């Protein structure tokens, strides 16, 4: 495998128009680690036993999500969520959380039971989430883009007992209620029509603007250990069936200090004093059902007392208006968002000077984007790597380090380790060589919910096999060179090829099919398919696109479908040579 030298990496930084300031970095990454993790410091570490594996953890991380909720309560009258004309303070949010938590218990929800949340980003989302996890229930955030059968699969597979959703998701789920045998109670928010088989969430906690009038009460008393189960986030598997990644309270709490550690490193590297934390305003535009928004975002924001602004639907001009009106300090999520903010012609009509950082993950980004964020907004770019199985943050990359290595996703945080392994996982590769990325740390989930075979194949002695091809440089910075097998990432949404291919195969005319990713400036990639039809049959591109749209979420529908007279090219093992298919587009 080819390696990349320091000089080549530096050349790429120069190519995007950035050169390191004189004297930067003031200290090395190793020195940062020594300073920040020293005994008595905020980021002090300790080694503990987690499921039989000695693991470095943040000594000062909150013990569980109840502790995070209690910290959030202390922020009082500071605004927590803003959604259109609805503003909810931290005090009002906590009143709603406590009220709903007691109601969950009254409905028979016990520690370890599953409570699902399926809705767009609304003020009700963090209320339902924390009401579940603070009583020891396992919260199951479901993909709000999923179809009715996909949502029903998640509810049935997780054994969800109680569901909190919005009306749009309920309309999809209700048609498949018979497929969810464990589902006993459904609360629907913002329902305009009559509810059959469900109850209005407002009957328990009222509307968001009414949360402040709810009685002040404590959370129900429940003992929760750091390793207790907290969440099930679904990640599609290459078999086409989603797998539920079972996360712990420690997994989510780890992110709070991991994010802070990355920010502190950037400050020390430029020779500045770490500032006292001050609450910020963030525009959250990626869905909370992703670990990026929930684990890496929501947890730290609650702990810091930040204000989160939600949008009904992403729109660049509305985002500009919100940034100007609310003096937003940070936004991002996936590269798509950053590109649209940069390239939209109306950007110049708004005062966006409050933006301090635009960070993203979840999709590949062009090094050019790093320069553009700095050039257009005068803001610091941020990136990182993680996955559902790591409950988000493993590496962090921002500020000058990111500008200096614009093709890297950064080094691992102090409590995480990375290594590059050969294809069969038996040998670690030398520095600079490309192989499969393995990661470990207190952010790695327990395994897959009720899927011991997949768990055994993916989680090995504390390490998670990521399926990503990567390399590490001599300072530990990680470079993702290819992604998980058979996966297309469209604007941060994972599309597993086999899932779409299986639907295409179900069409009576299709005998061979493959899904690949077409490069897209803003979305990173878009799905496209190559199809071979059975002799004597016919199908059009539009017909097959509608076929997929009727069965899967809209973002999984191929934007283009090319037909080939011959069966698709394969290697000796029968695997389709997908790289050979790109030329067809």
> Residue 179 falls within a domain, yes or no?
yes
Note down the domain range covering 522. 488-584
CATH code, domain carrying 276: 3.40.50.12780
Is 541's pLDDT higher than 90?
yes
553-582 pLDDT, tens digit each: 999 999 999 999 988 887 544 567 888 898
| Helices 335-343 + 316-326 axis angle, to 10 | 80
Point out the domain boundary residue: 224, 253, 270. 224
Point out the domain boundary residue: 482, 517, 549. 482
Strand, coil or helix: 520:
strand
Q: Is 157 exposed, middle or buried (0-12, 13-18, 19+ CB in 10 A)?
A: buried
Q: What local confidence, expressed as pLDDT, does residue 482 receive?
A: 67
What is the widest separation between alpha-carbon atoms in the chain?
75
Query: Do residues 343 and 419 share a domain?
Result: yes
> Residue 543 falls within a domain, yes or no?
yes
- pLDDT band at 16, cuts 50/70/90? low
**Cα 43 to the center of its chain, rounded Å:** 24
> Residue 312 falls within a domain, yes or no?
yes
> Residue 570 falls within a domain, yes or no?
yes
Query: Do residues 460 and 496 share a domain?
Result: no
Please write down the long-range contacts of 502-506, taking CB distance under 8 Å and 24 or more positions apart: 502/240, 503/547, 503/548, 503/551, 503/552, 504/529, 504/531, 504/544, 504/547, 504/548, 506/547, 506/551
What's the domain count of the chain? 3
- Between CA 92 and CA 111 the distance in angstroms is 25
What average pLDDT does the structure give for the chain? Answer: 91
* Helix or strand holding residue 58 (H, E): strand 53-58
The predicted model gives 172-195 an average pLDDT of 96
Which of 250-254, 464-468, 481-485 is the least confident region? 481-485
21-69 pLDDT, tens digit each: 999 999 999 999 999 999 999 999 999 999 999 999 999 999 999 999 9
Query: Do residues 138 and 267 share a domain?
Result: no
Whether the bond between 579 and the residue before it is cis, its omega within 30 degrees of 0, is no
- Between CA 6 and CA 17 the distance in angstroms is 17
Give the pair of three-digit tokens for residue 441: 């740390």
Of the candidates 266, 195, 252, 217, which has an alpha carbon nearest to the alpha carbon of residue 26? 266
Of the candidates 283, 370, 298, which has an alpha carbon nearest to the alpha carbon of residue 332? 283
* 194 contact partners, CB below 8 Å, separation of at least 6: none
Query: Do residues 439 and 368 share a domain?
Result: yes
Query: Do residues 453 and 516 share a domain?
Result: no
Convert 560-571 into a string of H (helix), E (strand) and C (coil). Answer: EEEECCCCCCEC
Query: Do residues 133 and 205 share a domain?
Result: yes
Beta-strand (E) ranges in 237-320? 242-248, 281-284, 307-310
Q: Is 485 exposed, middle or buried (0-12, 13-18, 19+ CB in 10 A)?
A: middle
* 323 contact partners, CB below 8 Å, separation of at least 6: 283, 331, 350, 352, 354, 355
CATH code, domain carrying 512: 3.30.300.30
- pLDDT band at 463, cuts 50/70/90? very high
217-233 pLDDT, tens digit each: 999 999 999 999 999 99
Write down the pTM of the prediction. Answer: 0.87
375 or 449, which is more confident?
449
- pLDDT band at 210, cuts 50/70/90? very high
Query: Do residues 250 and 369 share a domain?
Result: yes
DSSP bridge pairs for 89: 79
> Residue 79 falls within a domain, yes or no?
no
> Residue 67 falls within a domain, yes or no?
no
CA pseudo-torsion sign 546, 548, 553, 556: negative
DSSP bridge pairs for 465: 438
Q: What local confidence, expressed as pLDDT, does residue 122 receive?
A: 98
Point out the domain boundary residue: 412, 447, 482. 482
Query: Do residues 465 and 494 share a domain?
Result: no
Provide the percentage of residues in the chain whose pLDDT is more than 70: 94
CA pseudo-torsion sign 92, 95, 97, 100: negative
Residue 556's CB is within 10 A of a number of other CB atoms, namely 26
500 or 254, which is more confident?
254
Which of 180-189, 466-475, 488-497 is the least confident region? 488-497
Give the pair of three-digit tokens for residue 318: 């509305």
- On whether the CB atoms of residues 353 and 342 are closer than 8 A, the answer is no
Please write down the long-range contacts of 336-340, taking CB distance under 8 Å and 24 or more positions apart: 336/363, 336/491, 336/492, 336/522, 336/523, 336/524, 337/285, 337/286, 338/365, 338/369, 338/372, 338/373, 339/369, 339/521, 339/522, 340/316, 340/522
Query: Do residues 375 and 419 share a domain?
Result: yes
Give the pair of three-digit tokens for residue 262: 């990355």
Query: Do residues 252 and 341 share a domain?
Result: yes
27-38 pLDDT, tens digit each: 999 999 999 999
- On whether the CB atoms of residues 488 and 517 are closer than 8 A, the answer is yes
When mean pLDDT is compared over 390-404, 492-506, 563-577, the highest value belongs to: 390-404
> Residue 81 falls within a domain, yes or no?
no
Is 216's pLDDT higher than 90?
yes
- Between CA 283 and CA 572 the distance in angstroms is 50
Query: Do residues 391 and 525 share a domain?
Result: no
Is 367's pLDDT higher than 60?
yes
CATH code, domain carrying 146: 3.40.50.980
> Residue 76 falls within a domain, yes or no?
no
Query: Do residues 93 and 151 share a domain?
Result: yes
Helices and strands, counts by H and E, the chain:
18, 28
Give the pair of three-digit tokens for residue 22: 């004189």
- Tell me how far CA of residue 365 lies from CA of 111, 337, 361, 437, in angstroms: 41, 11, 8, 19
**What is the Cβ-side half-sphere exposure of residue 399, based on CA atoms within 13 angstroms?**
13
């Amino acid at each position: 495998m080819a390696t990349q030298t320091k000089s080549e990496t530096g050349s790429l930084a120069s190519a995007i128009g950035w050169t390191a300031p004189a004297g930067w970095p003031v200290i090395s990454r190793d020195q940062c680690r020594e300073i920040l993790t020293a005994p008595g410091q905020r980021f002090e570490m300790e080694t503990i036993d987690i499921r039989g594996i000695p693991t470095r953890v943040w000594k000062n991380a909150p013990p569980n999500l109840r502790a995070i909720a209690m910290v959030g309560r202390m922020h009082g009258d500071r605004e927590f969520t803003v959604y259109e004309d609805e503003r909810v303070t931290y005090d009002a949010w906590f009143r709603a959380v406590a009220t709903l938590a007691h109601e969950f218990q009254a409905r028979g929800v016990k520690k370890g039971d599953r409570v699902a949340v399926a809705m767009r980003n609304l003020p009700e989302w963090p209320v339902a989430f924390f009401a579940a996890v603070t009583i020891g229930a396992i919260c199951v955030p479901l993909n709000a883009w999923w179809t009715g059968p996909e949502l029903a699969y998640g509810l049935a597979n997780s054994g969800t007992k109680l569901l909190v959703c919005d009306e749009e998701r309920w309309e999809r789920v209700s048609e498949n209620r018979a497929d969810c045998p464990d589902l006993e109670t459904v609360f629907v928010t913002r329902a305009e029509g009559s509810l059959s088989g469900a109850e209005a969430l407002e009957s328990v906690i009222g509307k968001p603007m009414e949360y402040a009038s709810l009685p002040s009460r404590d959370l129900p008393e429940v003992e929760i250990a750091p390793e207790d189960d907290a969440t099930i986030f679904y990640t599609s598997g290459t078999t086409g069936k989603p797998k539920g990644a079972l996360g712990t309270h420690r997994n989510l709490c780890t992110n709070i200090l991991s994010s802070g550690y990355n920010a502190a490193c950037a400050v020390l590297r430029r020779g500045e004093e770490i500032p006292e934390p001050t609450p910020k305003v963030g525009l959250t535009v990626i869905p909370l059902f992703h670990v990026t928004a929930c684990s890496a975002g929501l947890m730290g924001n609650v702990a810091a007392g930040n204000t989160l602004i939600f949008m009904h639907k992403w729109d660049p001009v509305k985002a500009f208006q919100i940034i100007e009106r609310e003096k937003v300090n940070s936004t991002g999520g996936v590269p798509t968002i950053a590109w649209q903010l940069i390239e939209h012609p109306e950007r110049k009509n708004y005062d966006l000077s409050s933006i301090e950082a635009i960070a993203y993950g979840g999709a590949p980004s062009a090094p050019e984007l790093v320069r553009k964020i700095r050039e257009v907004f005068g803001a610091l770019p941020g990136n990182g790597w993680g996955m559902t199985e790591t409950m988000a943050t493993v590496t962090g990359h921002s500020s000058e380090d990111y500008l200096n290595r614009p093709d890297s996703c950064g080094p691992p945080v102090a409590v995480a380790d990375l290594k590059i392994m050969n294809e069969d996982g038996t040998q670690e590769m030398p520095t600079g060589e490309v192989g499969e990325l393995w990661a470990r740390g207190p952010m790695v989930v327990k395994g897959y919910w009720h899927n011991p075979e997949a768990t055994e194949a993916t989680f090995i002695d504390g390490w998670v096999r990521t399926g990503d091809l990567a390399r590490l440089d001599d300072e530990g910075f990680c470079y993702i060179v290819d992604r998980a097998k058979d996966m297309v990432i469209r604007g941060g949404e994972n599309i597993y090829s086999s899932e779409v291919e299986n639907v295409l195969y179900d069409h009576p005319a299709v005998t061979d099919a493959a899904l690949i990713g077409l490069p897209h400036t803003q979305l990173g990639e878009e799905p496209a398919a190559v199809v071979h039809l059975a002799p004597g049959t016919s199908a059009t591109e539009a017909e097959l696109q509608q076929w997929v749209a009727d069965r899967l979420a809209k973002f999984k529908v191929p934007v283009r479908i090319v037909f080939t007279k011959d069966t698709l090219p394969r290697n000796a093992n029968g695997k389709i040579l997908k790289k050979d298919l790109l030329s067809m587009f």
